[in-house]
Amino acid sequence: MNHKMKGILGAVLSFSILLVGCSSPTVNTNSTEDNKLNIVATTTMLADLSTVIGGERVTVDGLMGPGIDPHLYQASAGDVSLMQQADVVVYNGLHLEGKMGEIFENLSGQGAAVICIEEGLDESKLLAWEDDSSVHDPHIWFDVSLWEAAAKTVADGLSQADPDGKSGYEANLDAYLKELEETDTYIRNRAAELPEKQRVLVTAHDAFQYFGKAYGFEVRGLQGISTDAEAGTADVSDLANFIVERQIKAIFVESSVPPKTIEALQAAVKAKGFDVAIGGELYSDSLGDEDSGAGTYLLTVKANIDTIVDALK
């Protein structure tokens, strides 16, 4: 994975950033009713999770808005400054924020706690990054059980950063875990509406392997796990052949990936004498915006399974 920051590293150094590790957050006791804990989270998923667990004791700034691709996101000098000024920084890890790797490795220890979701995950439940077993697929939020682990990691990190708020964070966590269990059941029930042979999910990039493993879908992505890898002509042709052979009814675009690759795949399938529909837009590396009806994690994963099942029926 390429973590060279090019011009970004200069911005990082200009802020005189000090080296700290991914775990062992610095305790911050400045949070009170009048002075809320200031959290900066990288992705929309983590901003939502931090808001849910933090509740009234926190304010949350997300670096990436809806529809932004975290694989390709490059932090600005302003982003670095925002993280330096935060009480807590929350990021996914597992190379999801690939262009920001060196920033996290050199993130300032000047009063900021760092919560790295990767650190709270059971490695045995992680999937390999394509053919490299030493690196893991970062799209863990598509398995609700892994998102439960992420929620616990955030609750633990906030409790360390703000010990006075521990009971509140734990109460918020308990309530959220119940909602996650209900959501997991909803996804399983909807997936069961499809015969096993129809549970084939074809998307723009390979973001749904955790979803497939958890809920019984065969998953094919046109691009690799990272959108930094472009699909070639052979990739399109091979996947088109697969769709024709399996008589797959629908393929899906993603909210954070340009639709041109899936449209090219659709055209390649048609050229082989078979029509495949574009079944709708899935939320992959980002939640939906406020007007989408999928502006939270819970709403997003429900919207995804509804779109998938309705199109493949």
CATH, domain 189-312, list 3.40.50.720, 3.90.230.10, 3.40.47.10, 3.40.50.1980: 3.40.50.1980
pLDDT above 50 for 141: yes
Orientation of helix 233-246 relative to helix 260-271, angle to 10°? 60
pLDDT of residue 197: 94
Residue 310 neighbours by CB distance under 10 Å? 13
Q: Identical fold at 7-186 and 189-312?
A: yes
pLDDT of residue 149: 98
DSSP code for 32: -
Q: What's the rounded Cα separation, in Å, for the pair 262 and 203?
A: 7
Q: What's the rounded Cα separation, in Å, for the pair 127 and 138?
A: 8
Q: What's the rounded Cα separation, in Å, for the pair 266 and 157?
A: 45
> Pick the residue with more confidence: 263 or 29?
263
The domains of the chain are located at 7-186, 189-312
Q: What's the rounded Cα separation, in Å, for the pair 66 and 43?
A: 9
pLDDT of residue 2: 39
pLDDT of residue 169: 98
Bridge partners, residue 218, by sequence: 200
Most confident region among 150-154, 224-228, 292-296 by mean pLDDT: 150-154
Percentage of the chain modeled with pLDDT above 70? 83
Q: What's the rounded Cα separation, in Å, for the pair 164 and 27?
A: 11
Spatial contact of 11 and 76, defined as CB atoms under 8 Å apart: yes
> Pick the residue with more confidence: 289 or 151?
151
Quick: pLDDT tens for 94-134: 989 987 877 877 775 555 688 999 999 999 999 987 666 67
pLDDT above 90 for 240: yes
pLDDT of residue 226: 52
pLDDT of residue 254: 92
pLDDT above 60 for 291: yes
Bridge partners, residue 91, by sequence: 116
pLDDT above 50 for 23: no
Q: What's the rounded Cα separation, in Å, for the pair 58 and 49?
A: 12
Q: How far is CA 128 from CA 22, 132, 137, 200, 214, in A?
A: 21, 6, 6, 20, 15
Contacts from 287-291 at CB under 8 Å and sequence distance 24+? Answer: 287/44, 287/45, 287/48, 287/66, 288/66, 288/255, 289/65, 289/66, 289/67
pLDDT above 90 for 61: yes
Quick: pLDDT tens for 165-219: 999 999 999 999 999 999 999 999 999 999 999 999 999 888 899 999 999 999 9
Residues 6+ apart with CB under 8 A from 231: 222, 223, 261
Q: How far is CA 247 from CA 166, 194, 200, 240, in A?
A: 53, 15, 10, 10
pLDDT above 70 for 258: yes
Q: DSSP per residue over 83-121, as a string?
A: HHH-SEEEE--TTTTGGGHHHHHT---SS-EEEEGGGGS
pLDDT of residue 204: 87
pLDDT above 90 for 60: yes
The structure's pTM equals 0.85
Overall fold of domain 7-186: Rossmann fold (3.40.50)
Three-state secondary-structure class, residue 172:
helix
pLDDT above 90 for 69: no
DSSP code for 65: -
Query: Average pLDDT, stretch 273-289?
Result: 95
Query: Average pLDDT, stretch 239-246?
Result: 96
Mean predicted lDDT score pLDDT of the chain: 86
pLDDT above 90 for 235: no
Q: DSSP per residue over 188-230, as a string?
A: HHHHTTS-GGG-EEEEEES--HHHHHHHT-EEEEEE-SSTTSP
pLDDT of residue 232: 67
Q: What's the rounded Cα separation, in Å, for the pair 109 and 68?
A: 27
